[in-house]
A and B are shown apart, each in its own frame.
Chain A
Amino acid sequence: EPEVTQTPSHQVTQMGQEVILRCVPISNHLYFYWYRQILGQKVEFLVSFYNNEISEKSEIFDDQFSVERPDGSNFTLKIRSTKLEDSAMYFCASLRGWDTLTGTEAFFGQGTRLTVV
C-alpha cells in the first residue's frame, strides 16, 4: 500500500540553526500539507501546497518557514532559524482530491520529531 514517508524520524538541532524536514508524498497525490503537534497538544495546520504553490498558511507559518517541492516528488519544510518553541512533531500529509468511488482521505507520514536545544 502506498504511504507517505518522512525523514528524519528524529532531529535534534541547536537553537538558531536551520533544519529541513523531508517528505515523500504518495506519487499521484495533488495536495500537500504540513501540520505540527507540540507534545501532548492538538495538531495544528501550518501550510497547504497545491499546483506548485502555497495555497494557504497559518499564523504559525511566519517568515522563518518555507516549503518546496524541488523535484516533483519530495516536499520539504525548512525552518531557517530554529527557536526552542519549534520543538514539536511535524507531520506531512498528502491527498489526491475527491474521488466519486472512494471519497477523500489525507494520508499522514509517521512524523519527524524536532527537538531544539
Chain B
Amino acid sequence: AQTVTQSQPEMSVQEAETVTLSCTYDTSESNYYLFWYKQPPSRQMILVIRQEAYKQQNATENRFSVNFQKAAKSFSLKISDSQLGDTAMYFCAFMKSSDYKLSFGAGTTVTVRA
C-alpha cells in the first residue's frame, strides 16, 4: 500500500512571498505519478501540478513548481509570489500507474496574509 505524508498541517505566508509545502511518500512501485491538488473553501478539488516519476525534470506551472527527489521519495511544492487566492488546503497525492488510484496526504492548510 502507498502512504503519503504531509508533515505540515498549517502554513502561513505573507502576500508576494514564497512558501514550500513538504510531501513524502512510500511505495514499492517503480512507475507512478504525483500530484498537488488545491481545495479552496468551496471544497472543489483543483489540480495544481503533476509529475511523472520517470521524468527527472521538475514540473513547473506558472508560480507553482515542485522539487521531486525520487530516491528520497520526496515531492515538495513551492508557491512563489503568493496571492490571496492561493489560500486553500493543499493535498499531495500519489497515483499508481497500474490502476490510477489516488492516495492522498492529510493536507496542508495555507493561509496567505495581506
Give me the interface of A with B, judged by CB distance under 8 Å.
31, 33, 35, 37, 41-45, 48, 50, 55-56, 89, 91, 93, 95, 97-98, 103-106, 108, 110-111, 113
> Measured between alpha carbons, how far is A110 from B106 in the docked complex, in Å?
19
> Measured between alpha carbons, how far is A55 from B96 in the docked complex, in Å?
13
Return the contact of B95 from the options A37, A91, A104, A108 (Cβ within 8 A). A104
Give me the interface of B with A, judged by CB distance under 8 Å.
33, 35, 42-45, 47, 50, 52, 91, 93, 95, 97, 99-107
* Nearest CB of chain B from residue A59's CB, rounded to whole Å: 11
Task: Write the chain B residue with the least CB distance to A41.
Answer: B106
Return the contact of B101 from the options A56, A89, A110 (Cβ within 8 A). A56
Is the CB–CB distance between A45 and B102 below 8 Å? yes
Is the CB–CB distance between A42 and B107 below 8 Å? yes
* Nearest CB of chain A from residue B95's CB, rounded to whole Å: 7
Q: A103-B52, A105-B50 known; A111 and B102 CB under 8 Å?
A: no
